[in-house]
Structure 1
Amino acid sequence: MRQCEVYLHGIKTGVLTENDSHEYKFTYDKAYLLNENCDAVSLTLPLRSEPYYSQHLFSVFANMLSEGDNRQIQSQLLRIDPEDDFGILLATCQFDTVGAITVKPIEL
């Protein structure tokens, strides 16, 4: 199992988890939900206390990943399987992402 904290504009919004079967769960942080001015990470993940589950990496996170030749180069340089979406997300989306979302790996 692998996990990361998800940040929106530098504020922790929740935790994204990949289990051993490559299924995904995103859960908003309870403290984040208490803030009346908090925004959803994505329109596809509206604010709620119940976790979201998916057989595929949620589109908001998958869209943060590189594609094509850039993905191949990243995979080679980082020594990560090019099919490992979660691994690439953890390695490349901690700083200076195109959008407002960043992730921070959680060491288990």
Structure 2
Amino acid sequence: MRKATVLFKGEEAADIWQEKDGSFGFRYRDAWFADPLRPSIIFRMPKSQQEYRSEHLFAYFFSILPEGGFRKRLCRDLKIDEDDDFGLLLRLAVEDATGAITLKDVEDV
């Protein structure tokens, strides 16, 4: 399993991971969920204690990945398989993220 912490404006808000079978999971951290002042960070995944599951990378995260020729060149330069959406996300959202959501503590579990 590959896993990362999702930060919202620099604060730990959730975890995202990819299982060995290729499916994905997302869950808000308990402290984030318990604080009524903390917002949902992704519109289609409201703040909840439930674990969100998907066979594909969640739409929000997929939407921040590059496309086309830029993706091909970037994957080649980073030595990442072009079909490895999660691997690309982990590299880009940790090192070159823009906006309120970033990733950290990338782990191979």
State the one-letter code of the partner of 1:7: L
- Compute the RMSD of aligned alpha carbons: 1.1
Distance across 1 between alignment mates of 2:42 and 2:95 = 19
The 4+ residue runs of structure 1 with deviation greater than 3 A are: none
- What is the Cα deviation at residue 42 of structure 1? 1.0
Match of 2:85 in 1: 85
- What is the Cα deviation at residue 13 of structure 1? 0.8
State the one-letter code of the partner of 2:100: A
TM-score after normalising by structure 1: 0.93
Match of 1:103 in 2: 103
Q: Which residues of 2 match residues 1-108 of structure 1 at below 5 A?
A: 1-104=1-104, 105-108=106-109
**Structure 2 unaligned runs (5+)?**
none
Distance across 1 between alignment mates of 2:93 and 2:41 = 15
User: In structure 2, do the counterparts of structure 1 residues 107 and 22 end up closer, same or farther at CA, with 3 Å as the change threshold?
Assistant: closer
Percent of aligned pairs with the same residue? 31
TM-score after normalising by structure 2: 0.93
Distance across 1 between alignment mates of 2:40 and 2:68 = 29
- What is the Cα deviation at residue 15 of structure 1? 0.7
Distance across 2 between alignment mates of 1:17 and 1:97 = 18
Contact 1:5–1:106 (8 Å) recurs in 2: no
Distance across 1 between alignment mates of 2:55 and 2:6 = 19
Question: After alignment, is 34-43 or 7-16 more displaced?
Answer: 34-43
**Structure 1 unaligned runs (5+)?**
none
